[in-house]
Amino acid sequence: MSTAHRQVPADTHRVLILGAGYAGMAAATQLAARTRRADVQVTVVNAQERFTERLRLHMTATGQRLAELDISELLAGTGAQFVRGWVTAVDAHAKTVRVDDSRVLRYDTLVYALGSVTDTAAVPGVEEHAYSLDGPSGATTLADRLARLGAGTVVVVGSGLTGIEAAAEIAERHPEVGVTLVGQQDPGASMNPKARAYLRAALTRLGVQVITGAAVTRVRPDAVELAGAETVAADIVLWTGGTRVAPLAAAAGLTVDERGRVVTDSALRSVSHPEVYAIGDAAAIRQGYGVLHGTCQSGMPTGVHAAVSIARALRGRQPRPFRFGYYHTPVSLGRNDAVVQFTRPDDSPRRGCLTGRMAVWYKETVSASPWPTYRRMSRLPSSGAFWPRGGRFTRLRDAR
Ligand SMILES: Cc1cc2nc3c(=O)[nH]c(=O)nc-3n(C[C@H](O)[C@H](O)[C@H](O)COP(=O)(O)OP(=O)(O)OC[C@H]3O[C@@H](n4cnc5c(N)ncnc54)[C@H](O)[C@@H]3O)c2cc1C
């Protein structure tokens, strides 16, 4: 049940966390546990009461039921309040946030964690004719349509990890359906040759046809058009080609990058508004090897680090720089197969990889871990403060 934003004494420091996804929940549980003080109020705003397991949306899209993970139930007793609602504006000058266009919430410190969504605007026809994996309702609608399809054709656009996982899952759950994966790059292009070959063989075994080097230029109700005038017939199109972020940060006057993500300093504070921390997919966070790309793997540590920094600042101490090194790329290939590419901190592939049953177990362990981690952190915050810092890969040459 949503909790109203109650009146607080004037000397209370209000921390408002926008978004209760992988990063926002990490920040909320950490911060609540580290600031059990009467003069600090932590409030989390999220569109849904139920936590969206984005990592598993391809399972929802194929009719598999996921656990009911209730955000307010997890936060109950931690000291953090939950407000269910849609953030419609941030006023960085007045330090207020508008929710559902009607309520106004004030903050002293803001944590911006609104994530990203599939970019459905880049190619004509996507918005009107394609499905995407952004939330449970869209994924459930796709599952219903797939269940009624029979021996039809599905085109999954985007040969990145989301597209691969979705194509494999659909092919496994609906063997009567013809599944085609269309994208620019080879599936598993960022993996080492062994992992890539394993992934391709698994897609072949599942009957997924792969078209690479292809740019989709339009989605029609019955097909996708490729550059060069070729078309691929499709009863259903699932679009996984790229992500975009909400325009709220840019509209608020925060410094954003060319993709609209909040540009942060090394401590994850907005470079233009230091009372705003930005984490997860919504933030442009630079490391020695480049700007983090959106993953849960890096998103959760950004949430923990922001919370630790805010707790330090409230005690009058300076925040420390955030450092993170990637360590793996786990990819499911249906429910019975998977491949895990171990990586260097800059996300380039190492020689080591897991395949088959071990990889299935590994991937499931990773996907299932966030919720128990939040629960544990809300009691024992230091338990969530471990992740690879990336060594020489994450030392900034020109630290801000
Ligand atoms: C199908 C799929 C599979 C993936 N698999 C993996 C994987 O295996 N490994 C991996 O590391 N990453 C994976 N990712 C990427 C990963 O899900 C994201 O990087 C991660 O969710 C980012 O976390 P976040 O907290 O920044 O954003 P999110 O998890 O998206 O959370 C943002 C939250 O903010 C809420 N919100 C957004 N706008 C508003 C608003 N205006 N008002 C109120 N609430 C709002 C959303 O409802 C959501 O609850 C996958 C993504 C997809 C789509």
299 shares its domain with 272: yes
Helix (H) or strand (E) holding 73: helix 71-75
pLDDT band at 397 (very low <50, low <70, confident <90, very high): low
111 shares its domain with 251: yes
Question: Which pairing describes strands 216-220 and 236-239: parallel, antiparallel, or unpaired?
Answer: unpaired
pLDDT in tens, 55-66: 999 999 999 999
Indicate the residue type of 299: G
Contacts with 59 (C-beta within 8 Å, 6 or more apart), sequence order: 66, 169
Look at residue 121 and tell me if it is in a domain. no
For ligand 1, the distance from its centroid to the CA atom of residue 278, given in whole angstroms, is 14
Give the model's pLDDT for residue 4.
Answer: 45
How large is the average pLDDT for residues 24-40? 92
The CB of 24 under 6 Å from ligand 1? The reply is yes
User: What is the C-alpha to C-alpha distance for residues 46 and 217, in angstroms, rounded to an integer?
Assistant: 34
Look at residue 235 and tell me if it is in a domain. yes
For ligand 1, the distance from its centroid to the CA atom of residue 367, given in whole angstroms, is 13
Annotate 80-121 with DSSP letters as a single string.
-EEEE--EEEEETTTTEEEETTTEEEE-SEEEE----EE--S
Atom of ligand 1 nearest to the CA of 363: 8
Q: How many CA atoms, within 13 angstroms, populate the side-chain half-sphere of residue 18?
A: 31
285 shares its domain with 358: yes
How large is the average pLDDT for residues 280-302? 96
Look at residue 390 and tell me if it is in a domain. no
How large is the average pLDDT for residues 346-374? 97
209 shares its domain with 259: no
What CATH number should be reported for the domain holding residue 303?
Answer: 3.50.50.100
User: What is the C-alpha to C-alpha distance for residues 386 and 324, in angstroms, rounded to an integer?
Assistant: 10
Question: Which pairing describes strands 262-263 and 209-211: parallel, antiparallel, or unpaired?
Answer: unpaired
Question: Which pairing describes strands 96-99 and 117-118: parallel, antiparallel, or unpaired?
Answer: unpaired
User: What is the C-alpha to C-alpha distance for residues 176 and 196, in angstroms, rounded to an integer?
Assistant: 26
Look at residue 312 and tell me if it is in a domain. yes
For ligand 1, the distance from its centroid to the CA atom of residue 38, given in whole angstroms, is 31
**DSSP 8-class letter at 391:** G
What CATH number should be reported for the domain holding residue 155?
Answer: 3.50.50.60
Q: Which of 218, 239, 260 represents a domain boundary (last residue)?
A: 239
For ligand 1, the distance from its centroid to the CA atom of residue 20, given in whole angstroms, is 9
Contact (CB, 8 A) for 92 and 254 = yes
Provide the 10 A C-beta neighbour count for residue 79. Answer: 17
Look at residue 37 and tell me if it is in a domain. yes
How large is the average pLDDT for residues 314-328? 95
The CB of 163 under 6 Å from ligand 1? The reply is no
Chain centroid to CA 251: how far? Answer: 22
pLDDT band at 1 (very low <50, low <70, confident <90, very high): very low
Look at residue 320 and tell me if it is in a domain. yes
User: What is the C-alpha to C-alpha distance for residues 99 and 121, in angstroms, rounded to an integer?
Assistant: 25
Look at residue 124 and tell me if it is in a domain. no
The CB of 23 under 6 Å from ligand 1? The reply is yes
The CB of 113 under 6 Å from ligand 1? The reply is yes
Give the model's pLDDT for residue 193.
Answer: 97
Q: Which of 75, 86, 20, 8 is nearest to 47 (CA)?
A: 86
Look up residue 28 and give its two tokens.
């909320």
375 shares its domain with 252: yes
Look up residue 281 and give its two tokens.
């997919």
How large is the average pLDDT for residues 151-166? 97
User: What is the C-alpha to C-alpha distance for residues 312 and 308, in angstroms, rounded to an integer?
Assistant: 6
Quote the pTM value: 0.95
141 shares its domain with 105: no
pLDDT band at 2 (very low <50, low <70, confident <90, very high): very low
Q: How many CA atoms, within 13 angstroms, populate the side-chain half-sphere of residue 187?
A: 32
User: What is the C-alpha to C-alpha distance for residues 296 and 112, in angstroms, rounded to an integer?
Assistant: 16
The CB of 369 under 6 Å from ligand 1? The reply is no
Atom of ligand 1 nearest to the CA of 331: 8
Tell me which residue range forms the domain holding 184.
Answer: 130-239
163 shares its domain with 22: no
Give the model's pLDDT for residue 396.
Answer: 63
Q: Please count the structural domains in the chain.
A: 2
Q: Which of 147, 145, 179, 178 is nearest to 165 (CA)?
A: 179
User: What is the C-alpha to C-alpha distance for residues 308 and 30, in angstroms, rounded to an integer?
Assistant: 7
- pLDDT of 399 above 50: no
48 shares its domain with 170: no
Among 2, 17, 22, 332, residue to substitute to test ligand 1 (most atoms within 8 Å of Cβ): 22
269 shares its domain with 349: yes
pLDDT in tens, 79-124: 999 999 999 999 999 999 999 978 999 999 999 999 999 999 989 9
Burial classification of residue 49, based on how many CB atoms lie within 10 Å of its CB (0-12 exposed, 13-18 middle, 19 or more buried)? middle
Chain centroid to CA 293: how far? Answer: 10
pLDDT in tens, 241-284: 989 999 999 999 999 999 999 999 999 999 999 999 999 999 99
Indicate the residue type of 241: G
pLDDT in tens, 200-246: 999 999 999 999 999 999 999 999 999 988 999 999 999 999 899 99
Atom of ligand 1 nearest to the CA of 19: 34
The CB of 340 under 6 Å from ligand 1? The reply is no
Give the model's pLDDT for residue 147.
Answer: 97
140 shares its domain with 225: yes
- pLDDT of 146 above 60: yes
How large is the average pLDDT for residues 38-60? 96
The CB of 22 under 6 Å from ligand 1? The reply is yes
Strand order of the β-sheet with 209-211 is 130-131, 236-239, 153-157, 178-182, 209-211
The CB of 132 under 6 Å from ligand 1? The reply is no
Look up residue 216 and give its two tokens.
């989709």
Averaged pLDDT score across all residues of the chain: 94
- pLDDT of 6 above 60: no
Give the model's pLDDT for residue 38.
Answer: 74
pLDDT band at 398 (very low <50, low <70, confident <90, very high): very low
User: What is the C-alpha to C-alpha distance for residues 19 and 299, in angstroms, rounded to an integer?
Assistant: 12
Q: What are phi and psi of 189, to 5 degrees?
A: -60, -30
For ligand 1, the distance from its centroid to the CA atom of residue 22, given in whole angstroms, is 6
- pLDDT of 381 above 80: yes
